[in-house]
Structure 1
Amino acid sequence: MRKYETIFVMHPSLDAEANKAAVEKFKGVIENGGGTVDNVDDWGKRKLAYEIKKVNEGYYTLINFTAGPELPKELDRIFRITDGVIRHIIVKEEK
């Protein structure tokens, strides 16, 4: 089991309930894939460093989790097919 962190940015036009539902969806993917969610940190609405698809701001969320090496691939796939996710990154934490 390895420690990972993921940060994803949701589209600003989504309401609070849609953002919360997306976070729960991603937590479910981690937990159903045999991982454990260590921490969820909602950073809220922030301005993007540069414009992405004509959008200047988004809702940021950080999730720290522990999982096997195959789970980040599946989580990446889910991020790519989920409507409303502007950007995402999954990083393995160093010791």
Structure 2
Amino acid sequence: MKKYEVMFIVRANLEQEAIKAEIANVNTIFANNDSKVLECKEWGLRELAYEIEHARKGYYVWMLVEATPLAVSEFNRIAGYNENIIRHIVVADGK
């Protein structure tokens, strides 16, 4: 399995419990696909560089995961249609 850096931005207008639930959902996506979340850092509420879907702020989350290509594909698929995740990116860790 390869290591990947995963970054996603959750809508800022959600309750704190809903934000935690979105983070837990992402953890579950990787766990259900034989992958591990090695590190998870919540960067918190930050101003966006530009407006995304009428939002000026977002809740940033960064993860380091050891994942299969299937898990990364599944995360991209689910994050793409999840209305609470306004942006996401997955980058292979080059270390």
TM-score class, shorter-chain normalisation, is over 0.9
Unmatched segments (≥5 aa) in structure 1:
none
Task: Name the TM-score, length of structure 2 as normaliser.
Answer: 0.95
The superposition leaves residues 43-67 of structure 1 with CA deviations (integer Å, 9 ceiling, x where unpaired) of: 0000001111221100000111001
The superposition leaves residues 29-78 of structure 1 with CA deviations (integer Å, 9 ceiling, x where unpaired) of: 10110001101100000000111122110000011100112211111001
Matched residue type, 1:57: K
Matched residue type, 1:27: N
- Residues 1:92 and 2:95 are matched in the alignment: no
CA distance in 1, matches of 2:62, 2:32: 19
Task: Name the TM-score, length of structure 1 as normaliser.
Answer: 0.95
CA distance in 1, matches of 2:51, 2:38: 31
Structure 1 runs of 4+ aligned residues shifted over 3 Å read none
Number of aligned pairs? 95
CA distance in 1, matches of 2:55, 2:93: 30
CA distance in 1, matches of 2:33, 2:61: 20
RMSD across aligned positions (CA)? 0.8
> Which residue in 2 is equivalent to 1:18?
18
> Which residue in 2 is equivalent to 1:71?
71
| Identity value in percent | 36
CA distance in 2, matches of 1:53, 1:37: 28
> Which residue in 1 is equivalent to 2:81?
81
Unmatched segments (≥5 aa) in structure 2:
none
